[in-house]
Amino acid sequence: LKFKAIYEEVEKLVDAGIMKEVHYHSWLSKPVMMKKHHGSWRMCVDFKDLNKACSKDGYPVPKIDWKVESLCGYAFKCFLDAYNGYLQMKMAKEDEEKTTFITSQGIFCYSKMLFELKMLE
């Protein structure tokens, strides 16, 4: 079941242009399967070593109350979350190969930014 879940997730993300196959790489991480509360599997990639090699992002996250207050007085408010909204930010080309991971299907990397990553430089 885990291998099938990895296969399906990789196929889905390659088809969506979120990841691509890699033939030459310097970095390599491994996928880790996490069981969801309803029994299905979620594929994560263990980027522990990559995150250790990256400097800490010094940009402070703004407080939410400032953001909420900035919306006051407007007639319409809209929140959009596209399909897998966290996979919408394009990653710098030179950083893509740092997200390389291996599966039984081959070696792949992400072309969109993930939550699991520090900001790459």
Q: Which residues contact 121 (CB under 8 A, 6 or more apart)?
A: 54, 55
Q: Using one digit for the tens of pLDDT, what is the confidence trace for 76-114?
A: 666 555 555 567 778 888 888 888 999 999 999 999 887
For domain 2-56+63-110, the CATH superfamily is HIV Type 1 Reverse Transcriptase, subunit A, domain 1 (3.10.10.10)
The two three-digit tokens of residue 66, written as one number: 């400032």
Predicted model pTM = 0.70
Query: Could you give the CA distance from residue 71 to residue 20 in angstroms, rounded to a whole number?
Result: 38
Instruction: Identify the CA nearest to 98 among candidates 59, 45, 58.
Output: 45
